[in-house]
Amino acid sequence: MAKVELSQDVVALSDLKASPGKVVSRMDKTHRPVLLTSRGRAVAVVQSLEDYEADTEERAFLRSVVHGLMDLEQGRELDLAEVKKRLGIA
């Protein structure tokens, strides 16, 4: 997720209600999330769908890498021949 620029990316809920298109356009252009506030308190973060999907995919990939490294550390590994056999690959 791109870093929030507090001087530019904090939007009051009332401002979002008044001009949602402007907020969405800015997110699309900057690829930065917007921090929504209500009565001066942060209540939510909004980001474009494209950036959300990319962030989700990246987190899933990194989790898989970490799990793989943990498997290696704990001795849970297979050689290539065994993997091919389990997958039915010649």
**Is-contact 33 9, C-beta < 8 A?**
yes
Q: Which of 20, 27, 65, 76 is nearest to 49 (CA)?
A: 27
**Helix, strand, or coil (residue 81):** helix
What is the spatial distance between Cα 25 and Cα 48, in angstroms, rounded to a whole number?
9
**Is-contact 71 45, C-beta < 8 A?**
no
Residue 46, burial from CB neighbour count under 10 angstroms (0-12, 13-18, 19+):
middle
**Of the segments 5-9, 55-59, 77-81, which one has the largest average pLDDT value?**
55-59
Q: For the whole model, what pTM was predicted? A: 0.71
* Domain made up of 1-47: CATH architecture: 3-Layer(aba) Sandwich (3.40)
pLDDT, tens digit, for every residue of 46-60?
Answer: 999 999 999 999 999
